[in-house]
Amino acid sequence: MSSAVASVSSGGQDVSEYIIHHLVNSDSWHPLPGVGVPLLGDIHLFGIDLGLTLHSLMLIIAGGIVYFLFGFLYKKHSGRAPSGMTNMLEFLVLFVRDEICINYLGEEDGKRLAPFFLNFFFLVLVMNLMGLIPIFSTATANINVTMGLALITLTMMIVGGIGKNGLVGFIHIFLPPGVPKPIYVILFPIEVMGLFIKPFALTMRLYANMLGGHIVIFSLLGLIITFGWFGLPALGLALFIFFLELLVAFIQAYVFTMLSAMFVGSMMHPSH
């Protein structure tokens, strides 16, 4: 009995190592079992670590895939109805433009800012889906990547708010009308804090969603390590969670883009 408990608990150690190995950023890429590709680890420039790590490599590959999709697979057509890949990409582009940008930013700004949010949507979507392909790793399960994306949203909120309303109008966003004057002493800091909490919430949502989903998949697969052949039925459960993750990848890309558009819209059109 005690030896069985000991073997299971040592298996638990293996499993947590196995899970962490698959989720945490590292200096080498393991596309196949036993194959390790070392990456350029140590490049320091002006005191900043610019070395290529696994997740930054995935970020670059995702950018390449998005470029490939729209640079090569997308065919401009004239007069005829689109077909194949072009059709699918146009469906997604139109969805983001009409349902997200124009809905939250208005007709004029929505069309003008659509490329910005389309970038968000396709980059996050490709990174999320890459996490489900065995040879790749999930860049969005790294908080630095999602924080970077959310900082772009924060910049857009501030730049868009000042550009649209002017500096005085931008300050007035944090002073909602119809409130007694003394309340502003409390309200103004809270509203300014809200400006920074919104991107932080975006960061945590995407990061924790992707990390959580992958931890669940690897925990179920880890049952096989712990229990041997008896853990094999867990494969079915892992497959179920895998398909759930496929759905979550799309939903999170949609939610990230939509909330970004909503936050930018609330800065550009504060009356809405």
Partner 1 sequence: MFSAPGLAAVGAGIVVLGAGLGIGRIAGSAMDGIARQPEASNKIQTAMIIGAALIEGVAFFCAVVCLLALNK
Asked if 150 touches partner 1 (CB under 8 A), the answer is: no
- The whole-angstrom separation of Cα 6 and Cα 23 is 26
Among 208, 224, 225, 234, binds partner 1 (CB under 8 A): 208
Segment interacting with partner 1 (CB under 8 A) among 84-92, 170-178, 237-245, 251-259: 251-259
- Report residue 2 CA to chain centroid gap: 44
Asked if 12 touches partner 1 (CB under 8 A), the answer is: no
Mask for 167-206, x = binds partner 1 (CB under 8 A): ----------------------------------x--xx-
Asked if 255 touches partner 1 (CB under 8 A), the answer is: yes
What SS3 state is found at 189? helix
Q: Is residue 80 within a helix (H) or strand (E), and if so which, with residue range?
A: none
Asked if 106 touches partner 1 (CB under 8 A), the answer is: no
Q: Is residue 45 within a helix (H) or strand (E), and if so which, with residue range?
A: strand 44-45
- The whole-angstrom separation of Cα 202 and Cα 197 is 9
Asked if 258 touches partner 1 (CB under 8 A), the answer is: yes
Q: How many residues bind partner 1 (CB under 8 A)?
A: 14
Which of 29, 256 has the CB closer to partner 1?
A: 256
Nearest to 96 by CA among 254, 221, 225, 240: 254
Please give the single-letter amino acid code of residue 77: H
Q: Locate all alpha helices (DSSP H) within 73-183, ordered by sequence.
A: 84-95, 102-105, 107-130, 143-173
Segment interacting with partner 1 (CB under 8 A) among 69-77, 129-137, 154-162, 258-266: 258-266
Asked if 147 touches partner 1 (CB under 8 A), the answer is: no
Among 64, 115, 212, 236, binds partner 1 (CB under 8 A): 212
CA-to-CA separations, 87 to 77, 130, 257, in angstroms, rounded: 10, 22, 21
Asked if 50 touches partner 1 (CB under 8 A), the answer is: no
Which of 205, 269 has the CB closer to partner 1?
A: 205
Angle at 87 (CA atoms; ends 60, 84), nearest 5 degrees? 90
The site for partner 1 (CB under 8 A) is made up of 99, 201, 204-205, 208-209, 211-212, 251, 254-255, 258-259, 262
